[in-house]
Each structure stands twice: as structure tokens, then as C-alpha cells.
């Protein structure tokens, strides 16, 4: 089995080394240990929804003293997002896929000084809270120019919207906590004794 990281940081140099790689020979279908002198290990990465960058990457491993060595010198051109990959062995132009999976390409914080790690729900909730503060501090609720008028949401409407966004954010955070293996904050445990 190939060991592939769950995520890569855009801009990092990637190096994977594989020893004793086993699988089925593309020609005969027999189980073998792949020798880099005879077999070629290749990788194809394809992105779904890549943001601001290349959506594909193809890499061929080299033979390094009897081991497969995969090197990607620069990942600067990749866009953030999920990349699905296939690793495959070729011999005499015959191909056999030996593994597939997904890798998350994440942005490099050092290269993104204006990075905001909040999701859209959190950003919207901040805007709603700012609007509530503006109404409470005496901001203009409505105005009219040349027969056209604009009315902002009332304080009660803004508070209702804020409560709705907060509830959605809490559901999202609870779901993420459960996926990380943490306790579900919405579940209460009760013990009855005698």
C-alpha cells in the first residue's frame, strides 16, 4: 500500500519513497513485488472545485537504489481544494491502477496575508452583528432618493436572522466535532439509579 498524506500545503516540495511495493503485474496478472528497474510508478491528480490554480498534476516516480521515489519540486501552481488521485504501475505500455484516493490541497498561510479562515456562515454572522450594532447606535433605518426608497431590516428582524445563523453555525460545529470523534454537544446522557 502506498502512503499518501491526507493534505498538502500549496508551495511545499513533496517527496514520497516507496519500498517493497506489491501488486499484480499488468502483463501477467500474477502477484509481484514491483522493481523500479522494470516497472514505472505514475500518479495522476485531478481537482474538483480547485480555487485559483491548476486543476491537475501528473508525476512519474524515479528509481532510487531499488526504491520508487516520487518528487514534486513545487506545488505553487496548485489551487486549494480536493484532488482525487490514482497511482498506477506500467510495464511494456500496459497499465494497472494500484491505489486511488483523495488529498486536500490547503493554502499556505505565509503566502496569504489576507487569509480569513472563517467559513461563509461565520462571516455573514459577523455582518449581521455589525448591522445590529449600527441599528442600536442610532444608524439610519431607511432613506429615500428621487422617489426610490430603501429600508433596512428592523432590529427584531436582524435579531431573528442572527439567531437563525447562530443555530446553523452550532449545527455545523457539532457535526464537525462528531466527525473528529468528539462528543456530540447536543446529546445529553442521563443515568438512572436506585
Question: How many percent of the chain have pLDDT more than 90?
Answer: 34
> Per-residue pLDDT tens for 111-161?
777 777 788 889 889 888 888 888 888 776 766 667 777 677 888 888 999
Lookup: cell for 45 = 491528480
Using alpha carbons, list the distances in angstroms from residue 172 to 42, 82, 120, 184: 38, 20, 12, 11
Alpha helices in 17-148 (DSSP H): 120-136
Strand boundaries in 92-170, DSSP class E: 94-106, 142-145, 148-151
What length is written for the chain?
194
pLDDT of amino acid 52: 58
Lookup: cell for 142 = 431607511
Beta bridge partners of 43: 59, 87
pTM attached to this predicted model = 0.60
Amino acid at each position: 500500500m502506498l502512503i499518501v498524506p491526507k493534505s498538502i500545503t500549496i508551495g511545499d516540495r513533496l517527496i514520497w519513497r516507496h519500498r517493497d511495493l506489491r501488486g499484480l503485474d499488468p502483463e501477467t496478472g500474477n502477484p509481484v513485488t514491483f522493481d523500479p528497474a522494470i516497472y514505472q510508478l505514475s500518479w495522476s491528480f485531478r481537482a474538483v472545485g480547485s480555487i485559483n490554480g491548476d486543476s491537475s498534476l501528473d508525476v512519474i516516480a524515479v528509481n532510487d537504489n531499488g526504491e520508487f521515489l516520487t518528487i514534486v519540486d513545487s506545488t505553487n501552481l496548485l489551487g486549494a481544494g480536493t484532488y482525487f488521485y490514482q497511482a498506477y504501475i506500467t510495464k511494456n505500455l500496459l497499465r494497472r491502477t494500484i491505489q486511488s484516493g483523495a488529498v486536500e490541497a490547503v493554502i499556505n498561510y505565509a503566502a496569504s496575508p489576507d487569509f480569513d479562515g472563517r467559513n461563509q456562515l461565520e462571516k455573514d454572522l459577523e455582518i449581521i452583528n455589525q448591522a445590529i450594532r449600527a441599528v442600536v447606535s442610532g444608524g439610519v433605518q431607511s432613506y429615500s432618493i428621487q422617489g426610490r426608497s430603501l429600508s433596512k431590516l428592523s432590529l427584531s428582524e436582524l435579531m431573528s436572522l442572527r439567531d437563525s445563523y447562530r443555530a446553523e453555525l452550532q449545527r455545523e460545529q457539532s457535526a464537525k466535532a462528531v466527525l473528529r470523534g468528539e462528543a456530540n454537544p447536543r446529546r445529553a446522557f442521563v443515568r438512572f439509579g436506585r
